[in-house]
Structure 1
Amino acid sequence: MDAAAFDAAFWITTAAILGLLVLSGFFSGSETALTAASRGKLRAATDKGSKGAERALKITEDNESLIGSVLLGNNLVNILATSLATALFTRLLGESGVALATLIMTLLVLIFAEVLPKTYAITNPETAATRVAPVIQVVILVFAPVVGAVRVFVRWVLGLFGVKTDPDSQILAVREEIAGALNLGHSEGVVEKEDRDRILGALDLADRTVEEVMLHRSGIEMINADADPSEILQQCLESSHTRLPVFKDDPENIVGLIHAKDLLRAMYRLMEGAESSMEALKSFKIADIAMPPYFVPDTTSLDDQMRQFLRRRTHFALVVDEYGALQGLITLEDILEEIVGEITDEFDPDADHTITVAEDGHYWIDGQMTIRDFNRATDYQLPDDEANTVAGLVIHEAQMIPTVGQAFSFHGFRFEVVARENNRLTRLKIRPLEAQLRPRSEA
């Protein structure tokens, strides 16, 4: 190797190669930082006055232009650096310098222009995105004409194969991104199960209907408008509910809604100062204090229904189907329970014991427990497309109304009917099929 080869041209070329490697590392790290940065965190930083975060947020709004400009710049500097290195080593070593230049440049680009900057960027994506945003913004402006032409050409080529592109569409919906992040965080132990369930429950309100969470009409406690006033008073005092529907002649014919406070207040006024309090009650008419019933379609989303409750300042609605037939009732509490879980008070002492785990690994549940509540309690994923309750799922899959003692296996679980009243399955025993059951202890 001639010492004259190490002249000014050699050192200038070497410096140019090193500078191009630095630029390559900058483009690689910028691409990773801007694509990995959380737009939510960038928005929060922008709201606090960060100009860099504001630029980064604006840049990431058009990912196609961002990726196109960064890739164009990265490929330009990589190809130019490789060409200069090949020319330099060929000058020094002749034809054998080509292989050496390829090996050395591969290692340099891999370590210093790819792995190192991308590792830093993925470790601190928001910080890195904020720092590189001003420079990348200029790069996008400079390369905009070339990137625009490339985008048109790429879409034309894809169109030849029948592929339609929509640059404004998101690969994942925001809700799916949040749900995926929560589930990943829960699996890694970062997010508590209760926190995950609450957030996912709030996100699900728009996709769930009142039919899925309502109390079925078979479980509604009602007041007969023609009943004796003393019987009505006793029923209200013994009831665990403060609001009760009022029907006339037929339970399907709901004529009003009575609040326990209104009932007691009205009856107290009748009895106050009367010589015979019970005689005064005979003139009481429940229709005089009953509020008009509020009916909602069973297809209303929980999100819309909650807004209606808040707007109307009421907590109670009767659910009807497309024919106007009564299907059930829904309250604001029912909707809130989809977010925070079961809400109980002193009148619901057994409400939080709807599911128990036996020593042999079986789950004992009420047949009317909703599939969603079962999934939340056990972290399993029974499908709720065809039925709202676990009993309904068993009937749907069995294509019959099972008798006590019958057992079925589907969706990875074994279901056994423990109790039945008329055509309702009131008690079920469930276990995962893959579970290793412990032998039941003898009495």
Structure 2
Amino acid sequence: MIEYFYIGFVIILILDFLVSTTLTAESSASVYTPGDSQGHSEAIITLTRGADETVYALHVARSFLHFLLAALLVGLLVSYNLMIWWAVLIAALPGAAVVVAFELIIATMVSRQPYAWLARMQVVSRTAVLLFRPLNGIKTPESLRLKEVDEEPGQTPVTAEELKTWAAAANETGGLEPEERRMIQSIFEFGDILCREVMVPRMDVRSMDVNTTVSEAIQAFIRTGHSRIPVYENDLDNVVGILYAKDLLQHTDLTASLKTLEGLVRDAYFVPETKKVDELLREMQERGIHIAMVVDEYGGLAGLVTLEDILEEIIGDIRDEYDPAEEQPYQKLGEDYFLVQGWMDLDEFNTIFETHLTRDLAETVGGYVVAALGKMPVGGEDIMLENWQATVEQVSGRRIRKLHLHKIEQSSNMED
């Protein structure tokens, strides 16, 4: 009797392997373009186009096999005189381990050549569809909701993971330009970006006191080129509103009689620096605002975020004829010699110079150097950034402006 349990166990494992392999191949192939299927039959392309019904049937088949596998394991343990609840508990552990191991092995094996594996598994796909077609009309509430948002009949919703798979495949085959790759990657990462990562820091915020005269405010707009400037009372931690240049221009009769800006400022919108930029973008759209003041955990001003800052995270720098000439974050001076701006983003620095500096200390190279030294450095002071020697070139106030980098080759020969 026990022998039948083991035979059934092996048969179910084989069937589960075949179904899971086919399901993985079907899901992977569905995000490739038809040109990727060259060398495979039209039947395979047809299977991928009708993936909705096939994938559903394969999911049902796999769930059915997992149920049989669990039932066999419980029956086997009960045959050894174990109580039913103990049998269920003990069977769950090896059963889950087997399923996870199968998924990892299959994903690694199939993802590189989905069409080739799908061609081998045609029989499995067609059999699953044939056997479980009567259940195809049974839908969960979630699947019904997905179906409702389909704009065209037969359109299959695409998940984020499928989009990532497609982007990775297109990248490997050269189907994407560098700027397209960067934009797609930015979209995937957009939901994880915080306001403090894109904001204009407090030290770079151009602002004016509420007691500034109208004529001085006009000159400030001309000088900075900004269309909106924060207005504060007494100090920058007490922002009372935002002054719009168009308000000055549209009310020339009023501004001529005003001595201060108090009657012209609009309410400011405040957000914490830990707020995600995708949430802020939605709020800006709903409220019709273009600028938000970012505050730290103590309520002080940390910086500001504009709608342009957020959009630049996706599409790159937006420049117009009034923007000053762009200053590059680094400049190559010679072989293994570079001049780096202190404001250079730490992630970009890690990518360019192949380092692994952590953002726990700071988000810019200059900030990292100050935090690592534990003091404000002076010009000419050195610090090692892994295999790069950084020399402080220029300091302005409490900010490092520029650093010289020189690569230090690590000697493989250790002297006694």
TM-score after normalising by structure 1: 0.61
Partner deviation per Cα, 1:62-97 (whole Å, 9 max, x = no partner): 6954886999xxxxxxxxxxxxxxxxxxxxxxxxxx
> Which residue does 1:20 correspond to in 2?
none
Aligned to 2:202: 217
1:350 equivalenced with 2:325 (yes/no): yes
Within a 5 Å distance, the mapping from 1:18-37 to structure 2 comes to 32-37=21-26
> Which structure has the larger Rg over C-alpha atoms?
1
How much has 1:234 moved relative to structure 2? 1.0
Instruction: Indicate if the aligned counterparts of 1:212 and 1:388 stay in contact, CA closer than 8 A.
Output: yes
Q: State the shift of 1:423 in Å.
A: 2.2
Give the letter for the 1:136 counterpart: A
Q: Is 1:196 the counterpart of 2:181 in the alignment? A: yes
Q: Deviations over 1:258-308 (max 9, x none)?
A: 1111112222x35xxxxxxxxx72535422221101110111011111111
Offset from partner CA, 1:35-77 (integer Å, 9 cap, x none): 23335827999xx997841123214546954886999xxxxxx
Contact between 2:212 and 2:260, CA under 8 Å: does it hold in 1? no
**Aligned-residue offset at 1:254:** 0.9
Please tell me the residue identity of whatever aligns with 1:324: G
Measured after TM superposition, the shift of residue 392 of structure 1 is: 1.4
CA shift, 1:223, in A, is 1.7
1:251 to 233, 236, 243: 236
Question: Any conservation in 1 of the 2:26–2:55 contact (CA below 8 Å)?
Answer: no
What amino acid sits opposite 1:41 in the alignment?
A: S
- 1:191 is displaced (CA, Å) by 3.9
RMSD across aligned C-alpha pairs, in angstroms?
4.2
1:395 is paired with a residue whose SS is helix
Question: Which residues in structure 2 correspond to 1:75-86 (within 5 Å)?
Answer: none
Q: CA deviation at 1:331?
A: 1.1
- State how far apart, in whole Å, the 1-side matches of 2:131 and 2:112 are: 21
Give the counterpart letter for 1:400 in structure 2: K
Partners of 1:321 and 1:63 lie apart in 2 by 53
Question: For the structure 1 residues 34 and 407, does the alpha-carbon distance in structure 2 shift closer, same or farther, using more than 3 Å as the test?
Answer: same
Whole-angstrom distance in 1 between the partners of 2:61 and 2:408: 46
Distance in 1 (alpha carbons) for counterparts of 2:20 and 2:344: 49
1:98-145 Cα shifts (integer Å, max 9, x gaps): xxxxxxxxxxxxxxxxxxxx899744456776774231345689xxxx
Moved more, 361-370 or 125-134: 125-134
Give secondary structure in 2 for the equivalent of 1:322. coil
| Equivalent pairs, count | 323
Post-superposition Cα deviations, 1:229-277, rounded to whole Å, max 9, x if no partner, equal: 211111111112111001122222211101111112222x35xxxxxxx
Kindly provide the amino acid, as one letter, of the partner of residue 291 in structure 2.
F
Length-normalised TM-score, structure 2 = 0.64
1:62-211 equivalences under 5 Å are 65=63, 122-124=114-116, 132-137=124-129, 182=167, 186=171, 189-211=174-196
Q: Which residue of 1 aligns with 2:213?
A: 228
1:303 matched to 2:283 = no
Q: 1:400 to 1:181 in 2, by over 3 A?
A: farther
- Stretches of structure 1 that go unaligned for 5 or more consecutive residues are 1-24, 72-117, 142-173, 271-279, 437-443
Task: Pick the structure with more helix per residue.
Answer: 1
- What CA distance in whole angstroms lies between the structure 2 residues aligned with 1:248 and 1:120? 62
Please report how far the alpha carbon of residue 330 of structure 1 lies from its aligned counterpart in structure 2 after TM superposition: 0.7
| 2:245 corresponds to 1:260 | yes
The answer to whether the 8 Å contact 2:229/2:244 transfers is: yes
Q: Percent identity?
A: 28
Q: Supply the distance in 2 between the matched residues of 1:228 and 1:186 (Cα, whole angstroms).
A: 56
Cα distance change of structure 1 residues 215 and 130 upon mapping to structure 2, 3 Å threshold: farther
Change (3 A) 1:120 1:359: closer
- Report what 1:158 is aligned to: none
Q: Aligned AA for 2:56?
A: K
